[in-house]
């Protein structure tokens, strides 16, 4: 079996039905090339439901602060609404989707980031469940809902979740964004970033907000898995296909 590919999806594409259908057709193409795992977040949907319910929410350094009281809402959105929607769309395209959370089969273990509430810091766990599904041509679709060792459900940043899943499987990783990749101060694509470049890019505010977490997750995956890591736009199916084939596209991240 060829090296697996982990694709993280999040952002605005999850809130627009037509865009999501377009993305899933691309996923179908990628799954024909490589064993594939999808990891997803859903921060926009979580925020929308919190607002609807009259709950306040905030972020620090691009990551959501999650009070324990919000976890039933987070779990319902991530592991329920979004995960089941992605599984249904995948099934209509002939993909054998299986909906999971990070704690399924002990895939990832989490410690509590107490500064952000019921938020998990994921670490690699057991690869056997995901590997079993991939060996049997299933498409695991993993929501970024984790758990602590004592069974507390935790909200996990989806970029960090995807990096850990890639580490567990020794997989290549693509972090999808709403733009073609990581852009410089003039809006031009940065084709390559290494660990030594990251502090200056952040200090210069070239990489900011949620893209900081994305870059950190990519560098983590590059350091631990020694595999190909890319940040790329979800809209360009041809670019994603090139990445799946090991060709250049988006922003390549290396340690």
Question: Annotated catalytic residue: which of 113, 159, 172, 233?
Answer: 159
The answer to whether 8 is a known catalytic residue is yes
Residues forming beta bridges with residue 64, ordered by sequence position: 59
The answer to whether 245 is a known catalytic residue is no
Question: What is the Cα–Cα distance from 56 to 191, expressed in whole angstroms?
Answer: 38
Nearest to 162 by CA among 22, 32, 5, 51: 5
Question: Annotated catalytic residue: which of 172, 181, 210, 214?
Answer: 214
Question: Annotated catalytic residue: which of 10, 41, 43, 210?
Answer: 43
Number of Cβ atoms within 10 Å of the Cβ of 64: 21
Residues forming beta bridges with residue 66, ordered by sequence position: 117
The answer to whether 11 is a known catalytic residue is yes
Binding positions for substrate = 42-43, 64, 155
If DSSP states are collapsed to H, E and C, what string results for 68-128?
HHHHHHHHHHHHHHHHHHHHHHHHHCCCCEEEEECCHHHCEEEEECHHHECEEEEEECCCH
The answer to whether 159 is a known catalytic residue is yes
Binding positions = 42-43, 64, 155
- Cα separation values, 183 from 73, 84, 157, 197, 245, Å: 33, 33, 21, 13, 23
Question: What is the Cα–Cα distance from 102 to 79, expressed in whole angstroms?
Answer: 10
Question: What is the Cα–Cα distance from 13 to 178, expressed in whole angstroms?
Answer: 8
The answer to whether 59 is a known catalytic residue is no
Catalytic residue list: 8, 11, 43, 159, 214
């Amino acid at each position: 079996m060829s090296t697996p590919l982990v694709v993280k999806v999040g952002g605005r594409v999850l809130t627009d039905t037509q865009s999501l259908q377009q993305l899933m057709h691309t996923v179908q193409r990628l799954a024909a090339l490589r064993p594939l795992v999808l990891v997803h977040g859903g921060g926009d949907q979580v925020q929308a439901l919190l607002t609807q319910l009259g709950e306040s929410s905030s972020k620090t350094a691009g990551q959501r602060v999650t009070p324990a009281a919000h976890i039933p809402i987070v779990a319902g959105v991530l592991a329920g609404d979004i995960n089941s929607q992605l599984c249904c769309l995948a099934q209509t395209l002939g993909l054998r989707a299986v909906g999971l959370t990070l704690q399924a089969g002990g895939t990832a273990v989490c410690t509590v980031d107490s500064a952000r509430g019921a938020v998990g810091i994921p670490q690699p766990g057991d690869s056997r469940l995901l590997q079993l599904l991939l060996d049997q041509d299933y498409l695991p679709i993993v929501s970024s809902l984790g758990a602590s060792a004592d069974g507390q459900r935790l909200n996990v940043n989806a970029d960090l979740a995807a990096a850990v899943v890639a580490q567990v499987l020794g997989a290549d990783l693509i972090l999808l964004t709403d733009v073609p990749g990581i852009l410089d101060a003039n809006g031009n694509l940065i084709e390559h970033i290494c660990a030594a470049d990251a502090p200056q890019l952040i200090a210069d505010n070239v990489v900011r907000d949620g893209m900081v977490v994305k870059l950190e997750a990519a560098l983590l995956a590059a350091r631990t898995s020694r595999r190909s890591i890319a940040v790329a736009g979800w809209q360009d199916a041809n670019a994603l296909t090139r990445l799946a084939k090991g060709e250049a596209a988006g922003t390549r991240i290396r340690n």
